[in-house]
Structure formats: C-alpha cells, structure tokens
C-alpha cells in the first residue's frame, strides 16, 4: 500500500514539473495579433447623414501581419464609395496604421443616439497561417432637437463638387489581346462647387493618411488592378487641373490590353481625387466597361499561281483561306463576287479551321472584258459576343484579250511570230501571190500522202481578160501541122 502511494506521488510530481514547460512552449509560439487601437469620426452624424470614420489598427503580436483584409459589414452604419472593403499590405510588430472609411447612418434609426458597425479583419503571418478577428465600433449620433414652432427658414444649399464620366470612347474599334489604344473620357463637374487640383487615377486610388488619420499630401495609385488593362507611355495618374461647376473637359490615356486576356467584358475603375473649396480632399470612384474580342486572323489568297486570265474564256481560280492565328476558328459561308464577270462554284460553307491549316475553293470565272478585275471575297462568322460579322477582302486580277485571226476564226494574225505572213487563200488553197506560209506547207504535206500534186506552186501574175489580144485567143484549126498561124 505504501508503494502504491509513493508511485502515485511520483507520477503527480512529474506531471506538475512538466506543465510549466508545456505552457511556456505554447506561449513561446510567435504570431501576429491585430487589434483596434483607436477610432474616431470626423463629425457627429445624424440619421441619414454621411461621415468618415478613421480606424487605427495595431499589431501587438510577435510576428508581422500580412495581407490584411478589412470588411465593414452594413447595418446601422452603411459603407459607401468602396463597398466597405479596405486592405493593409503589412503591419509589423508594434506598428500602427490607419484607414478611413466613408459611412452613412441608416435612415431607419429614428431617435437613436448610438450606431454600431461590425468590422471583420483577416490576415496571415510570414509562413502562411491565417487569422481572423471581429470588432464592433460604436459611433455617437446627434439626436433631433425640439424647439418651439418658428417660421421655416430657407434651406441652405450644400456646396459640393461632383465629377462624372459622361461618355468615353477608344480610337480602336475592336480591342483584342495585345492592342494598344487611347481611351478618351468626357468628364463633367455636375456639382454646385468647383473642384481644385483634380487628378485622375487609372485602376483606383486613395488619399494618403498618417497614423492619426489626417490626410497627407500625395496620392496612392499603386494598389489598382492592372492584370487586364495597363497604362502605356505614362503612369496611371494623370493631372487634370481645376473644374468649375458645369465645366466639361476631355482627358485621354494610352492603355494596352494584356496578351493573355480572354475575350469578355471587363470593368475599368477610375478615381478622381481633388480638393473642395473648403480644403477637404475628396475621392470619387467610378467604373466603365470595355469589351475585349479575339477576332479570327485569316488570310485569303491563291494556293497556286492562277496563270494568265483571258477575257471571254473560262479561267480557274485556286482560292485559299489560311488561319494565321494561334487558335482554331469557326467560319461560315464564303462568297466570291465580281462585277462584269460570270462566276461558277463561288460559294461554300467553310466550318472550323485549325491553327496553321487552310480551306480551299476552286472557282471558275469568265470575264466579260479585259483590264483589272476585282474579286470581292466575303466570309461570315460570329464574334465572341454572338454578334454576326463579315470578313471582306479584295483580290485584283489582270484580264487580257486572247489574240484572234481575221473574222475571229482563231487563225494567226499577220506578223505573228513563227506563223509567217497570212494571206487570203485562192480556190486551190494557195495564195495568189507572196511567200508560202506554214499552213500551205501543211496542205502540201497531206496532198503528198494521198498521191496528189504536192509541188510548190509557182507565183503567177494574173491579168484582166481585156488585156489579151483577140487574135491570140483564136483556136487552132484541126488537122493542121500543129503550128499556129
């Protein structure tokens, strides 16, 4: 019995001796701990009013906090302008950083003196471990004031500028991956006060704030999203200047589409940062939409030389569509048309064409006259937004006349090389004078084959009948000696 007690006491002592070491090891694991150190509103808002809330975050842990994602949940206080999302890239040990969030008091808070908002904070340490915390921030509200009935005062108009993008356009009609274009924005001040020192920030920007929450000189424009559209030839911050109430200006910026961008509709954020006449710095965020296409890259030509094109003759046209792009394309009907010419087999349904491959169409053309002949080749297809489009190109052919002999019988013309001089034939097939031609030699050759006279006829002089004397034309008398008189 004593041995059991002694054994139990020894085990209990060993456990008590090990517990402090376990506790120390558990507490020695470093991690970031983010807390809300202070927060303050720029004014005491009333029901339905807008105000700005500055929140200071402090890292009281023993490791840096990275990629802080701060979310203001809508409720009694409603986040405005940015959807209630804020980020802080890094918060090292014992460091404090502040953010400013624009909020609106819910119009449903009748008679309330305090409104609260819930803030979720997610962050990670340097090894990738994730942490999350939730904070509740309360703000005092100004209650309604009751007094004796008095004459209704004339409402005081609030002087505030408001910049709006009325319209925008690009100098390139169809944006594709790798396209560099210039974006023009029509900006109008629709407010009743002037905006001073206006700056336009592509991708979104904000005002620098010190740890106490006071706005500082300078603009933060490096936190925007540039995976699809990126500034070209200049930074994403453009200085515009002053805008009076009702004034309209046009600002432009060179932008390039990323070559890895897939076809689709993409939003592009712009921030206008300016100062009011009272010295307050304001940020107006707006979004526009740009469409990115991936058009087929094709080339229409001939897969072999069509040769000489003759007028009024049937000519062969070996047409070809070549896919020069890096992806396959689906094409619709192909049509070949021309003026002052007849065409055969000039339509076809193309279908899919793989990258680097081709589609051929053998068309027959009969031009009506010589000279330049324009072939209009049109190909139908559907773009990435299911809209019908037509690809058109023009191929120019040089049509010549075929040489014809006299009367259009295809005989060689006079002076044609290798054919000799052509003369109208006499009754026996030979000319009445001149040198023997190629065709005369051919006739004599066939006469020789059949045993006919194939001798070369002598050139003779022909006279009119009136040129002969009458006595020389008298017949010889029969029975004579054969001598003439």
CA pair distance 198, 276, nearest whole angstrom: 10
Query: Which pLDDT score is estimated for 81?
Result: 84
| Mean pLDDT of the residues in the chain | 80
What pLDDT does residue 254 have?
A: 94
Q: In this predicted model, what pLDDT tens digit does every residue of 266-290 receive, in sequence order?
A: 999 998 989 888 888 888 888 999 9
Contact yes or no for 334/291 (Cβ under 8 A): no
Q: Which of 276, 244, 273, 55 is nearest to 158 (CA)?
A: 276
- The rounded distance, in Å, linking the Cα atoms of 306 and 8 is 107
CATH-assigned architecture of domain 34-140:
Sandwich (2.60)
Domain boundaries, the chain: 34-140, 163-292, 298-400, 419-474
Structural fold of domain 298-400: Immunoglobulin-like (2.60.40)
Write down the pTM of the prediction: 0.49
Q: Structurally, what CATH architecture does the domain formed by 163-292 represent?
A: Sandwich (2.60)
pLDDT at 235 over 80: yes
Three-state helix/strand/coil letters over the chain: CHHHHHHHHHHHHHHHHHHHHHHHHHHCCCCCCEEEEEEEECCCCCCCCEEEEEEEEEECCCCCEEEEEEEEECCCEEECCCCCEEEEEEECCCCEEEEEEEEEECCCCCCCCEEEEEEEEEEECCCCCEEEEEEEEEEECCCCCCCCCCCCCCCCCCCCCCEEEEEEEECCCCECCCCEEEEEEEEEECCCCCEEEEEEEECCCEEEECCCCCEEEEEECCCCCCCCEEECCCCCEEEEEEECCCCEEEEEEEEEECCCCCCEEEEEEEEEEEECCCCCEEEEEEEEEEEECCCCCEEEEECCCCCCEECCCCEEEEEEEEECCCCCEEEEEEEEECCCEEEECCEEEEEEECCCCEEEEEEEEEECCCEEEEEEEEEEEECCCCCEEEEEEEEEEEEECCCCCHHHCCCCCCCCCCCCCCCCCCCCCCCCCCCCCHHHHHHHHHHHHCCCCCCCCCCCCCCCHHHCCCHHHCCCCCCCCCCCC
What tens digit of pLDDT does each residue of 394-417 get?
999 999 998 655 544 444 444 444
CA distances from 456 to 432, 434, 453 (A): 13, 12, 9
Residues 453-468 have pLDDT tens digits of: 555 555 444 444 444 4
Whether the pLDDT of residue 60 is over 60: the answer is yes
Which of 19-23, 37-41, 381-385 is predicted least confidently?
Answer: 19-23
Cβ atoms of 295 and 176 within 8 Å: the answer is yes
| Of 90 and 111, more confident | 90
- The average pLDDT across 333-351 equals 94
34-140 and 163-292, same CATH topology: yes
Query: What count of other Cβ atoms lies within 10 Å of the Cβ of residue 91?
Result: 21
Who contacts 1 (Cβ-Cβ below 8 Å, separation ≥6)? none
Cα 349 to Cα 359: distance, rounded to the nearest angstrom? 10
Query: For the purposes of burial, counting CB atoms within 10 Å of the CB of 288, is it exposed (0-12), middle (13-18) or buried (19 or more)?
Result: middle
**Burial class of residue 383, CB neighbours in 10 A (0-12, 13-18, 19+):** middle
Asked if pLDDT for residue 221 goes beyond 60, the answer is: yes
Mean per-residue pLDDT, 16-24:
57
């Amino acid at each position: 019995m004593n041995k059991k007690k002694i054994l139990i006491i020894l085990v209990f002592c060993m456990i008590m001796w090990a517990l402090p070491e376990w506790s120390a090891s558990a507490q020695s694991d470093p991690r970031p701990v983010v807390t809300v150190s202070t927060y303050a509103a720029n004014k005491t808002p009333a029901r339905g009013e807008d105000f700005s809330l500055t929140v200071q975050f402090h890292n009281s842990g023993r490791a840096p906090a990275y990629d802080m994602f701060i979310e203001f949940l809508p409720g009694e206080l409603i986040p405005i302008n940015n959807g209630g999302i804020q980020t802080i890239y890094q918060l090292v040990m014992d460091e404090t950083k502040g953010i400013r969030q624009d909020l609106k008091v819910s119009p449903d808070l009748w008679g309330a003196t305090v409104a609260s908002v819930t803030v979720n904070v997610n962050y990670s340490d340097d090894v990738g471990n994730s942490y999350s915390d939730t904070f509740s921030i309360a703000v005092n509200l100004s209650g309604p004031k009751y007094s004796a009935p008095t004459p209704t005062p004339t409402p005081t108009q609030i002087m505030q500028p408001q910049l709006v993008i009325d319209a925008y356009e690009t100098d390139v009609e169809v944006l594709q991956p790798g396209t560099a274009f210039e974006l023009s924005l029509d900006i109008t001040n629709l407010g009743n006060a002037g905006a001073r020192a206006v700056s336009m920030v592509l991708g979104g920007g904000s005002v620098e704030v010190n740890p106490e929450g006071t706005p500082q000189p300078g603009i933060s424009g490096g936190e925007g999203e540039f995976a699809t559209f990126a500034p070209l030839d200049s930074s994403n911050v453009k200085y515009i200047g002053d805008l009076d109430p009702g004034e309209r200006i046009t600002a432009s910026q060179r932008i390039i589409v990323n070559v890895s961008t897939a076809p689709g509709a993409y939003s592009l954020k712009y921030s206008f940062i300016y100062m009011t006449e009272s010295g307050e710095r304001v940020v107006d965020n707006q979004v526009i939409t740009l469409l990115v296409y991936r058009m087929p890259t094709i080339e229409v030509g001939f897969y072999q030389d069509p040769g000489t094109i003759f007028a009024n003759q049937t000519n062969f046209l070996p047409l070809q569509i070549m896919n020069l792009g890096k992806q396959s394309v689906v094409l619709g009907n192909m049509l070949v048309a021309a003026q002052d010419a007849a065409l055969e087999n000039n339509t076809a349904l193309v279908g899919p064409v793989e990258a680097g491959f081709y589609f051929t169409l053998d068309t027959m053309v009969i031009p009506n006259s010589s000279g330049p002949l324009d072939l209009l080749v049109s190909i139908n297809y559907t773009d990435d937004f299911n809209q019908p489009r037509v690809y058109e190109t023009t191929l120019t052919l040089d049509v010549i006349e075929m040489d014809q002999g006299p009367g259009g019988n295809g005989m060689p013309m006079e002076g044609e090389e290798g054919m000799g001089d052509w003369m109208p034939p006499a009754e026996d097939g030979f000319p009445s004078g001149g040198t023997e031609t190629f065709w005369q030699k051919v006739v004599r050759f066939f006469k020789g084959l059949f045993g006919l006279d194939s001798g070369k006829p002598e050139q003779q002089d022909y006279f009119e009948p009136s040129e002969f004397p009458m006595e020389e034309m008298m017949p010889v008398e029969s029975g004579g000696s054969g001598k003439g008189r």
